[in-house]
Amino acid sequence: MTDGTPGTAAAPDPAAHTELTGLERTALYKSLGNPLRRRILDYLGLHGEANSTVLARELGESSGTTSYHLRKLAEQKLIEEIPEKSGGRERWWRSLPFSHTTPDPATMTSEEYTAAEHLALLRIEVDTRLFRRAHEEYRGPRGWAQVQRTGTWMTKDDLHAFVHAYQELLARHSHPDDAVPEGARRVNLRFYAAPDAVGEWEGEPTGP
């Protein structure tokens, strides 16, 4: 599973997760699964920048609370301070381009797997709402909301090449946050690939 920050033009690096230790990944999954930190990241992604006071007002929290979570997000390099706007005790923040590929669950510790599973379940809820919205807001092939489904035959190498080409295509048709053209909107995209089951046990499909 590869996740990236919307609005960035850089293609996700499939090997990005190798730069983190298991403990660092566990901390990352816990951080991304924290409801308030998710809201802070969503706000920065939508509005570009904010300080603890703005976030406290918009999210209904105290500035001390938002300031604490901002520092934690900065430690994990999910956001960074804006030097030209910060001064004294007032610190402004913006989100950073982010890409992470989840490793094979078989290589995880139990704590890391639990944190990753919790985060995955939260994302499934978000993705389900997004899927419903795409259908509700569909206005034909020329509209903003688009839904594509298909099935085909692939080897594993074919699938991996397709994923790589998808990432390159996304990068080619995306614009970085500091160069958004007029008329552009933030678009949420999801990609899933799941092969048909290859066997059955008591009438239920099993295996990848």
List own/partner pairs for 128-136 with CB under 8 A and 24 or more apart: 130/188, 130/190, 131/190
Counting Cβ atoms within 10 Å, is residue 93 exposed (0-12), middle (13-18) or buried (19+)?
Answer: buried
Q: Residue 81 phi/psi, 5° resolution?
A: -75, 150
| CA pair distance 103, 1, nearest whole angstrom | 8
What are the tens digits of pLDDT across the range 172-200? 999 987 898 999 998 999 999 988 877 76
Q: Which helix (H) or strand (E) covers residue 37, if one does?
A: helix 35-47
Q: Given the structure tokens 């990432």, which residue do they identify?
A: 167
pLDDT tens track, the chain, 208 positions:
777 654 433 333 433 334 789 999 999 999 999 999 999 999 998 888 999 999 999 999 999 999 999 999 999 999 999 988 887 778 999 998 888 889 999 999 999 999 999 999 999 999 999 999 999 999 999 999 999 999 999 999 999 999 999 999 999 999 987 898 999 998 999 999 988 877 766 666 666 5
Res 17: pLDDT: 38
Largest CA distance in the chain: 67
Q: Given the structure tokens 């020329």, which residue do they identify?
A: 142
Counting Cβ atoms within 10 Å, is residue 116 exposed (0-12), middle (13-18) or buried (19+)?
Answer: buried
pTM: 0.74
